[in-house]
Amino acid sequence: NAGVTQTPKFQVLKTGQSMTLQCAQDMNHEYMSWYRQDPGMGLRLIHYSVGAGITDQGEVPNGYNVSRSTTEDFPLRLLSAAPSQTSVYFCASREGGSGNTIYFGEGSWLTVV
Amino acid sequence: AQKVTQAQTEISVVEKEDVTLDCVYETRDTTYYLFWYKQPPSGELVFLIRRNSFDEQNEISGRYSWNFQKSTSSFNFTITASQVVDSAVYFCALRFRQGGKLIFGQGTELSVKP
């Protein structure tokens, strides 16, 4: 029962570097999304996808790219990391249809120095 | 505007006390879903409950209970006889029928002292 798997769990980047946070789910969920969590701000939606080949922007998309080539995978790319992107990132997924529970990965702690 | 407000930033109680975490939401939609998640010190997000907007029946699960009142747009969470293991940040969240976006409150950090 893997559920939603995120890698890496911890990462330190230098300003300007690029990296990809990986997210995979084995539940055949249609919806996948990325959130970032910052102190006092709760979780904010970065990007989301309603199915393979379809992505859309959330509340705070700037500085991030996503793609959804398969149902299982939804990587989040930081093209040129900035200190403001220091955060905890959560990937989530859920089944299609209304009301279904959203399941989260364990989180990825990213520090940009 | 779609918004979730958790006015209590931090709550500290002594073990065995009852504690209520408040959640107030705003939405124009008539169909929506409300959630509570727990984030223990280890950092993962743990699903606790989902409630549909058309079901105002309150729910009890062990020491946890939830009071959903559409008239006041509130979805409060009560822990009875709190335990140290309940110490965590608790998030209330709102989702609409269209799309998979969750809107989170800012979270309430609960500290249960022995």
Report pLDDT digits (tens) over A96-113.
776 677 889 999 999 999
At A5-49, the pLDDT tens digits run 999 999 999 999 999 999 999 999 999 999 999 987 788 999 999
Which pLDDT belongs to residue B83? 97
Locus of tokens 């110490």: B87
Task: Identify whether the C-beta of residue B104 lies closer than 8 Å to the C-beta of residue B23.
Answer: no
- What would the mean pLDDT of B72-77 be, rounded to a whole number? 96
pLDDT category, B98, cuts 50, 70, 90? low
Quote the CA–CA distance of A54 and B99 in Å, as a whole number: 12
Nearest CA in chain B to A106: B44
Which pLDDT belongs to residue B7? 93
Select from A104, A106, A108, A110 the residue whose CB has the most chain B CBs within 10 Å, as the one to mutate to test that interface. Answer: A104
- What would the mean pLDDT of B73-101 be, rounded to a whole number? 90
- What would the mean pLDDT of B49-53 be, rounded to a whole number? 89
A42 at the B interface (CB within 8 A)? yes
Neighbours of B26 (CB within 10 A): 12
Of residues B100 and B73, the one with the higher pLDDT is B73
Report strand pairing: B88-96 vs B74-79. Answer: unpaired
Which pLDDT belongs to residue B100? 64
A52 at the B interface (CB within 8 A)? no
Which pLDDT belongs to residue A17? 97
Of residues A28 and A1, the one with the higher pLDDT is A28
pLDDT exceeds cutoff 80 at A92 = yes
CB contact under 8 A, A99 and B101: no
